[in-house]
């Protein structure tokens, strides 16, 4: 048989590992440590008939990815959340319920789904899918990318308010926002197009050199996953601290998908409005807007992030005003 020399040949590397190890162990331990002179007892795996006793080979666990219908459900949830966002902001003009939606979206898309998949990151996959003939993306990713853009085309950036997890986590930390000077705001706003360009540039590289910058430098995904590279967690923390004083800095100045939404929102048919026939020119709404989206007493759709703060600050609109009219109605007096 030619098996014997082979086994001898195999024993050599084994001896090469074991001997120094045994020597090392012997040197460290005073107790008589003795290693087993290990020899592989079988050449082939014994099968059930050799094992006997009615033995059955157990199945190997193969945990499957998320079911397809659940992935579709994520897209449906995204569409539904945007629908609710539009309804709450444009129809109900209600910030309280929008906050509830924001927290819900943060919990589901952020912490439960761990920030994946998101329209922002899917931008790269869409770009690669369009550019590389050998790359293609699942339909759910395509839908995730295009739905918020289509909504923005009709109603403005409804995705940004109350739906996007990255936006939601920043929305909740806005504490004492300062008004960023208009010029600085505009200049910083250009950064997102630079980032968009870079992300596209790195994504369309040939397969091995390809890089997904948006995902790699996502500042908040580390929080959603409760783990991450220390430098990215620190950057995320810095964004949140900065976000207490400058409203949603990532959304306004860096988000590449925000850049696309901005352009779609320019063409929007409807959006947040400061109703001309009711207004007092008091400017409370402009002061309340942390995102500088109210210019000359008009909401600017490309900047408006659908937070509904302007309504809740308005003395003649939103919850406060509704409460007032309700009070007047209940007291039986005619409304002024």
Partner 1 sequence: MSEDPTRRDLLGKVARGTVLAALGGAAGFLVKKAHGQIVWQVDVSRCINSRLGETAAEACNLCTTECVVALSAVRAVNEYFKCGRCNICPAYFNITSAVNEQGQPSEKLCPRDAIARKPIGKVDPEDPANNFYEYIIDEEKCDGCGKCVMKCKEPLGLGSITLRIRYDRCVNCNACAISLACPHNALVQLPIDQALQPAEVKRPG
Of residues 185, 211, 287, 319, which one binds partner 1 by CB under 8 A?
A: 211
Of residues 189, 219, 228, 290, which one binds partner 1 by CB under 8 A?
A: 228
Nearest CA among 124, 126, 151, 120 for reference residue 139: 126
What residues numbered 67-106 form the site for partner 1, per CB under 8 A? none
CA–CA separation, 310 vs 187, rounded Å?
A: 24
Is 121 in contact with 212 (CB distance < 8 Å)?
yes
Mark the segment that binds partner 1 (CB under 8 A) among 7-15, 99-107, 246-254, 295-303.
7-15
Of residues 110, 121, 256, 318, which one binds partner 1 by CB under 8 A?
A: 121
Task: Check residue 41 for interaction with partner 1 (CB under 8 A).
Answer: yes
Mark the segment that binds partner 1 (CB under 8 A) among 159-167, 264-272, 311-319, 324-332.
264-272
CA–CA separation, 309 vs 166, rounded Å?
A: 19
CA–CA separation, 111 vs 165, rounded Å?
A: 9
Nearer to partner 1, 255 or 264 (CB): 264
Task: Check residue 328 for interaction with partner 1 (CB under 8 A).
Answer: no
Task: Check residue 125 for interaction with partner 1 (CB under 8 A).
Answer: yes
CA–CA separation, 99 vs 47, rounded Å?
A: 61
Binding string to partner 1 for residues 277 to 296, with x set by CB under 8 A, is what? --------------------
Task: Check residue 33 for interaction with partner 1 (CB under 8 A).
Answer: yes
Of residues 4, 27, 28, 36, which one binds partner 1 by CB under 8 A?
A: 36
Task: Check residue 114 for interaction with partner 1 (CB under 8 A).
Answer: yes
Nearest CA among 76, 101, 243 for reference residue 162: 101
Least distance CB 64 / partner 1 (angstroms) = 5
CA–CA separation, 167 vs 255, rounded Å?
A: 10
CA distances from 292 to 249, 255, 307, 313, 330 (A): 12, 17, 12, 15, 37
Task: Check residue 14 for interaction with partner 1 (CB under 8 A).
Answer: yes
Mark the segment that binds partner 1 (CB under 8 A) among 55-63, 89-97, 180-188, 248-256.
55-63
Task: Check residue 28 for interaction with partner 1 (CB under 8 A).
Answer: no
Task: Check residue 209 for interaction with partner 1 (CB under 8 A).
Answer: no
Q: Which tokens in the block code for residue 103?
A: 């927290």
Nearest CA among 310, 316, 301 for reference residue 270: 301
Mark the segment that binds partner 1 (CB under 8 A) among 11-19, 240-248, 283-291, 326-334.
11-19
Task: Check residue 172 for interaction with partner 1 (CB under 8 A).
Answer: no
Tally: H helices and E strands in the chain? 17, 2
Identify the helix (H) or strand (E) that includes residue 295.
strand 294-295
CA 257 to chain centre: 11
With a CB cutoff of 8 Å and minimum separation 6, the contacts of 164 are 105, 109, 118, 119, 120, 251
294 DSSP β-pair partners: 299
| Interacting residues with partner 1 (CB under 8 A) | 10-11, 13-14, 16-18, 21-22, 25, 29, 31-36, 38, 40-42, 44-47, 51-53, 55, 57-58, 60-66, 114, 116, 121, 124-126, 129-130, 136-139, 142-143, 145-146, 149-150, 153-154, 210-212, 215-216, 225-228, 264, 267, 269
């Amino acid at each position: 048989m030619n098996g014997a020399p082979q086994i001898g040949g195999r024993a050599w590397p084994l001896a090469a590992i074991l001997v120094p190890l045994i020597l090392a162990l012997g040197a460290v331990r005073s107790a008589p440590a003795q290693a087993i002179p290990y020899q592989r007892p079988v050449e082939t795996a014994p099968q059930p008939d050799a094992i006997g006793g009615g033995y059955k080979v157990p199945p190997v666990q193969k945990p499957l990815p998320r079911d397809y219908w659940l992935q579709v459900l994520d897209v449906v949830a995204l569409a539904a959340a945007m629908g609710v966002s539009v309804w709450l902001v444009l129809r109900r003009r209600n910030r309280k319920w929008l906050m509830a939606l924001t927290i819900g979206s943060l919990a589901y898309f952020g912490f439960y789904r761990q920030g994946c998949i998101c329209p922002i990151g899917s931008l790269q996959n869409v770009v690669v899918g369009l550019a590389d003939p050998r790359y293609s993306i699942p339909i759910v990713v395509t839908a995730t990318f295009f739905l918020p853009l289509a909504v923005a085309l009709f109603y403005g950036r409804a995705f940004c308010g109350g739906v996007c997890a990255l936006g939601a986590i920043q929305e909740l930390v806005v504490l004492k926002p300062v008004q960023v000077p208009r010029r600085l705001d505009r200049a910083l706003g250009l950064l997102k197009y630079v980032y968009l360009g870079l992300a596209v540039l790195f994504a369309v590289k040939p397969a091995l050199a390809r890089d997904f910058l948006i995902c790699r430098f996502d500042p908040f995904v580390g929080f959603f996953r409760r783990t991450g590279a220390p430098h990215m967690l620190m950057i995320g923390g810095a964004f949140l601290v900065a976000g207490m004083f400058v409203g949603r800095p990532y959304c306004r100045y860096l988000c590449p998908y925000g850049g696309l939404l901005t352009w779609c929102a320019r063409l929007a048919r409807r959006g947040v409005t400061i109703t001309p026939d009711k207004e007092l020119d008091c400017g409370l709404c402009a002061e309340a807007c942390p995102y500088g989206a109210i210019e000359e007493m008009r909401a600017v759709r490309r900047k408006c992030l659908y937070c509904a703060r302007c309504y809740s600050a308005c003395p003649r609109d939103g919850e406060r005003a509704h409460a007032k009219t309700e009070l007047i109605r209940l007291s039986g007096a005619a409304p002024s």
